[in-house]
Structure 1
């Protein structure tokens, strides 16, 4: 669908014919302050430009273009000023504004702009998750999450291996201590968690601790 000029009562559209006539089209500035100046210059009540809105070159003065390169560009900070307004859209009279009123108006415009840009929730979704619209971005996020899951699973397996090795080492050491009758009652109490695998049916009272050895003597 060809782009059309957003100016009041302007019917110029982006076609092969307009290109032959040398008419160019220019998007509204991304900067909010400059875009707002363009919107005010159009004098279209309730009009708010979007990222696709354009003005044709008929609404700019010849010296406001930079034609040095192959692409015709507007010079920085240019504001459209060539329009054919009807009488009721004549230039409004200048009104005296104070610093406070200007600040209030700027705050109001900023708030309105933020409201327009605020994304609307999708009521068709069970949860209000923010999903990217681009399939490539969504695929990249999925791959990143999958890699994260694999990394966590690997860390979990490594931790389990280390835990088994530690238990094996402790079991072997306790076996040596038991054979040499070097276990104390306090140590046995602290290591009850390993009693099933270490004593194999042998009660703690049967362990010959230093205290028991003195008793037997």
Structure 2
């Protein structure tokens, strides 16, 4: 301990006597006990505060640093500060990494994927509808026959009843959404719905026709006048049945004649 004191005092060839004293101003506050006016030293107290002349002062390590050392330290400081900037940048622009859990992100992404799939499906349906451009009601009847959604009798009824109706009367237009349905369209819709609800649903969803909802058709059925005798619709259906039966008889007679010829 004595050697530390002598080293800090910096007096060469000096040996303190038993009566030598040192002012308390040379000690830091952490080495002092103060009780009122009385001041005592701690056991590990070492004098560290001195006002030495210039030639006795220690040169600080920082003053001895060369220019190369300062340049190197500046580079190191820049390298250490860069990650902090990057971290702040990530925190600002990517706050979802902290606020959202993996499950929440998964649900959000799945919802976006489902939404995009629905949009793709809708666009595909629209493209298919555009490809199926129709020029007449005869085309609709033929497609229903190809899809096996209507019977032969239904197809004959539709062909005999609606073959001469212009397709423009049934075309869907933006300005006619709230206009009353035409007589031809009502008759066509009720006939197809009567023979096959599945065929009517197919026509309504596939083609760009202003066909009413099946519920509206059921309301129309309830308003039909059920007067005694046959109605016009009944005569039309019977006429189609007779024509179909006549054609079948012709085919049967032709087959019978061919068989007899072979015998």
Q: Which bin holds the TM-score, normalised by the shorter protein?
A: under 0.3
Which one has a larger percent helix, Structure 1 or Structure 2? 2
Query: Which protein shows a greater Rg?
Result: 2
